Amino acid sequence: MSTTTKEIEFILIDQVRLAAHKWIPTEIKGVVFYFHGLQSHGGWLWEVGNLFASNNLAFICIDRRGCGMSEGERQIIPPVNQLLLDYTLAISHCLNKLPKSVPINLFGHCLGGSILAALLNYKGFTIKFDSVVFCSAWLGKLYSTLNEKELEKIRFDKSDELWDAGLHAEDFTSDSRYSVFIDDDTLATRKLVSRSRKHLLDLEEYYLGSNWNCKKPVVFISGTDDTVVDLSSALSVFQDLTAGKGTIVHLPTSKHYLFFTEVKNSLVNWVSYLTVSKGNIHCV
Partner 1 sequence: MMLNTSWKNDWSLLKDSFQQDCQFHSNHFKYCLAHPNEVQTTVLEDIIRLGQNSLMWKEENYRLNTVNVDEYRKKIPIKRYADFIPYIEREIDAKGGVLSCSPVMRWLKTSGTTGSAKKVPYTQHWMNHYRVPAIKAMWSTYMHHCPEMLSDPYAVLDMQTVLEEPSEFIKGLAYQSISNRYPRLDKNDWTPPWLNAPWFVSGMPGSHEERMYHRLRFLIGKPLHFISTINPSTLISMWDILLSQQERLINDIHLGTLNGKKLFEPNATLAKQLTSILNTKNISFKDIWPSLSLFSCWVSASAKLYRPLLNKILPGVTQIPFMTCGTEGVVTIPVDESLTSQPLAINQAFYEFVPAEVDMSDVLNPAQSTNTLLFNQLETGKEYHLIMSQANGLYRLATGDIFRVEGFEGNVPRLNFIRRDGIFHSFTGEKLTEDQVTEAISTFSQQNNIDLGLYMCGPKWAHIPRYVLMLETPSDLSVSNDEIAEKIDGCLQKVNIEYASNSTLAIIQYT
If you count DSSP H runs as helices and E runs as strands, how many of each does the chain have, helices first?
10, 10
Residues 6+ apart with CB under 8 A from 168: none
Tell me: does residue 69 bind partner 1 (CB under 8 A).
yes
Of 19 and 221, the one with the shorter C-beta distance to partner 1 is 19
**Options 29-37, 135-143, 185-193, 264-272: segment touching partner 1 (CB under 8 A):** 185-193
| Cβ 263 to partner 1 shortest distance, Å | 18
**Options 19-27, 116-124, 204-212, 230-238: segment touching partner 1 (CB under 8 A):** 19-27
Residues 6+ apart with CB under 8 A from 163: 191, 192, 193, 194, 197
Binding partner 1 by CB under 8 A: which of 127, 146, 187, 248? 187
Which residues face 104 on adjacent strands? Answer: 31
| Cβ 253 to partner 1 shortest distance, Å | 18
Please write down the HEC assignment for all residues of 216-245. Answer: CCEEEEEECCCCCCCHHHHHHHHHHHCCCC
Binding partner 1 by CB under 8 A: which of 30, 37, 42, 113? 42
Task: Give the span between the Cα atoms of 2 and 97, in whole angstroms.
Answer: 19
Binding partner 1 by CB under 8 A: which of 158, 177, 215, 282? 177
Which residues face 24 on adjacent strands? Answer: 5
Which residues face 133 on adjacent strands? Answer: 107, 219
Tell me: does residue 254 bind partner 1 (CB under 8 A).
no
User: In this structure, which amino acid lies at residue 125?
Assistant: F
**Options 15-23, 78-86, 235-243, 245-253: segment touching partner 1 (CB under 8 A):** 15-23
Binding site for partner 1 (CB under 8 A): 1, 3-9, 21-23, 42-44, 46, 49-50, 53-54, 69, 177-178, 180-181, 184-187
